[in-house]
Amino acid sequence: MEDLSEIVSEKEKLSVIQPEAIRSALKRISPHLNKTPILKSHLLNSLLGHEIFFKAEVFQKTGAFKARGALNAILRMQEEGNLPKKVVAYSSGNHAQGVAWAAARAGIESTIFLPKNVSSVKKAATRSYGAKVIEVETRQEAERLAREEELKGAVLIPPFDHDYVIEGQGTACLEVLDEGIKPDAVFAPCGGGGLVSGSYLATKLACPEAKVFAVEPLIANDAAMSYRSGEIYKFNEQPGTIADGARTLALAPRTFQYVKQLAGVYEIGEEDIIYWSQWINHLLKITCEPSSALGMAAAHKWLHGQEKGQKALVIISGGNMSEETYRKIWQKDYLSAIPGIIA
């Protein structure tokens, strides 16, 4: 059974998503999702001399863009007559909550395996979406048990290595472009590459002249290394970046085929991630995960080299943080160093 599914996924690696699929995904999922706001900061724009649009996925269902991909996967299965009775996911991050929420929306069961060290808040949230939450000792055990559920007929929804998931993630960017906003550059954080791949496809569809950049922490720069060498680089251990959404070990071949085509991959230092986490919180009045601050950190670097005023689109991927991350972010003062003046 497992072998079969591996062969299938090996084949699927070759599939290429047509940009129009992002449009179809948006039609499919938008009746169920929040149309998240596009925010601007008058102060930031006047300090930098550019116009920056923030797509605030912190206001998406479950507090992150992940609800988009999970719902698109489930609804596409339903369209194809293959709606499973149960879906399963293992993750300590936003993807698990996205799957739990999407399953409830489609009226099917979900089982989510969470490692014990996941915060009580996250567990409570996942349960509140109606999922069966099973706490296990380690992430490895979570994965093993999820695979067992698969053998019993549940469908495992992967966090990024799936066409339907990537299509869903691209809808956040498409929603912005559909508002008539024509950015010169788009910045999306990159863990496994689902969001940036989807954003690339959306941009190709609706604003092909815009550059699209992936952004990751410098100490978790597998995508940058892969981009430079042309071959997927994989970390052996999870990098210890504060941007927990970008701790993924490697891209999948499925996402790498889009990352390869990007205008570039930015690598951001840990201090810069915290700096922009504080400033986005302060300027936009939104909770911003460290992973979500990556985009603005990269936009700032890119804009700095531009001679005339540019329009940048920054995807703020989510706003779910542990108590510990909040504390780490606010330990040191970066608000005294005003962007464009001291920074």
> Scanning residues 32 to 51, which ones bind a copy of itself (CB under 8 A)?
37, 42-43, 46-47
Full strand arrangement of the beta sheet holding 132-136: 132-136, 109-115, 86-90, 155-156
For residue 232, give both structure tokens: 């997927």
Q: Which is nearer to a copy of itself, 95 or 105 (CB)?
A: 105
Chain Cα centroid distance, residue 82: 26
Q: How far is the CB of 65 from a copy of itself (least distance, A)?
A: 13
Contact between 338 and a copy of itself by CB under 8 A: the answer reads yes
Q: How far is the CB of 154 from a copy of itself (least distance, A)?
A: 25
Q: Which is nearer to a copy of itself, 97 or 203 (CB)?
A: 97
Q: How far is the CB of 216 from a copy of itself (least distance, A)?
A: 23
Q: Which is nearer to a copy of itself, 296 or 329 (CB)?
A: 329
User: By CB under 8 A, which span of 141-149, 188-196, 232-240, 314-322 interacts with a copy of itself?
Assistant: 314-322
DSSP state of 48: H
Nearest 5°: phi and psi at 51? Answer: -115, 120
Residue pair 134/112 in contact by the 8 Å Cβ criterion = yes
For residue 284, give both structure tokens: 């936009």
Contact between 323 and a copy of itself by CB under 8 A: the answer reads yes
Q: How far is the CB of 112 from a copy of itself (least distance, A)?
A: 15
Residues binding a copy of itself: number (CB under 8 A) = 36
| Cβ-proximal residues to 291 (8 Å cutoff; 6+ apart), any chain | 189, 191, 243, 244, 245, 246, 317, 318
Residue pair 306/52 in contact by the 8 Å Cβ criterion = no
Contact between 116 and a copy of itself by CB under 8 A: the answer reads no
Q: Which is nearer to a copy of itself, 43 or 263 (CB)?
A: 43
Contact between 121 and a copy of itself by CB under 8 A: the answer reads yes
Residue pair 247/93 in contact by the 8 Å Cβ criterion = no
Smallest Cα–Cα separation from 296: which of 29, 44, 7?
44
Point out which residues bind a copy of itself (CB under 8 A).
Answer: 37, 42-43, 46-47, 58-59, 63, 119-121, 124-125, 128, 278, 281-282, 285-287, 319, 321-324, 326-327, 329-331, 333-336, 338, 341
